[in-house]
Every structure is written in C-alpha cells, then in structure tokens.
Amino acid sequence: MTEITDKAETVPTNQTDVIVADSSRMPWETFLVPQTGAELPSKSLFSDPDTGMQVMMLRYAAGFTNTWHTHPHAHGMYVLDGVLNTHRGQYGPGNFVWFPEGGWMEHGATADNDVTFLFITNKPFGIVYASDDDQPYPMFDA
C-alpha cells in the first residue's frame, strides 16, 4: 500500500463543474398550461439539453386540480410544503411521488392549502388532456 503524504496529491485535477440554482433568490415565473389556461407559479431549476430532463419548482393554489391527463414522459413530484392530492391518495412534505409514463392521472392541491413541490421529468415536458385529439395513450383498457 502506498502512503500519500502530500494532501495536494489527493485532490483530483479533473473536477466536475456544478450548476447551482438558488431557488430562495429566484423570482417566481408563470408556467402556462395552454389547454386549461392555468398559470402556475414556477421556478425552472435545471434543464438537460441532452435528454430533455427538467427540474422545476411549482405551486398549485388551494383547490386547484390538474384534471385527468397524461404525459409523454415519466415524472416525479417531491412535496416541499402543503399536501399533494392525487387520484391515488394525499402526500405531505417529504414525500416523493413517481408517475410512470403512459398512465392517466389527476393531481393538485387540497381545498384548504397550496402545495409547493419539485417537478422532475425524465424527458421534455408535454401534457395531454382527455379533450385533446393527440392522446398518446388510451384512457381505458381494451
């Protein structure tokens, strides 16, 4: 075993850069969902140009529900504050809820409180509602 006596020898010279988004200093912007006209407060934290993966901070106002829809990507929602209300249950701060690609879902805030969450996609964002003609996935099993 070789003993390293010079600490400088243990620091890699090929260090990765980091990308930092300080959400506490970023202003809230508007994320528009064209099909519904919903304007959601948002902060874009990261977008990968190679894969289209995105990380955003979003907020649903109390009583808002994003009605039955699907996405051409999987996505996760990490609840920061409030309660995320979904078609499968309610999830409070610290919960990470993963929605696989290809299924129909509803999610939103509870009637009494806003919910703030990290929204993470594995591909570029897209959304399709039941009323849209270009649904990529069937709503009902054959």
pLDDT at 123: 96
pLDDT at 40: 97
pLDDT at 6: 62
pLDDT at 142: 73
Of 65, 136, 58, 56, nearest to 104 (Cα)?
Answer: 136
Which residues on neighbouring strands pair with residue 98, listed in sequence order?
A: 76
Q: Residue 101, class by beta-carbon neighbours within 10 Å (0-12 exposed, 13-18 middle, 19+ buried)?
A: middle
Of 90, 88, 89, 82, nearest to 118 (Cα)?
Answer: 82
Residue 79 lies in a domain: yes
Residue 139 lies in a domain: no
Tokens of 8: 């400088």
Residue 112 lies in a domain: yes
Cβ proximity of 91 and 138 under 8 Å: no
Q: What is the CATH number of the domain that holds 45?
A: 2.60.120.10
Task: Give residue 111's domain range.
Answer: 33-129
Contacts of 122 (CB under 8 A, 6+ apart): 51, 53, 73, 74, 75, 101
Number of domains making up the chain: 1
Is the pTM value of this prediction over 0.85? yes
Neighbours of 88 (CB within 10 A): 11
pLDDT in tens, the chain (142 residues): 556 566 667 899 999 999 999 999 999 999 998 888 999 999 999 999 999 999 999 999 999 999 999 999 999 999 999 999 999 999 999 999 999 999 999 999 999 999 999 999 999 999 999 889 888 899 998 7
Residue 4 lies in a domain: no
pLDDT at 1: 55
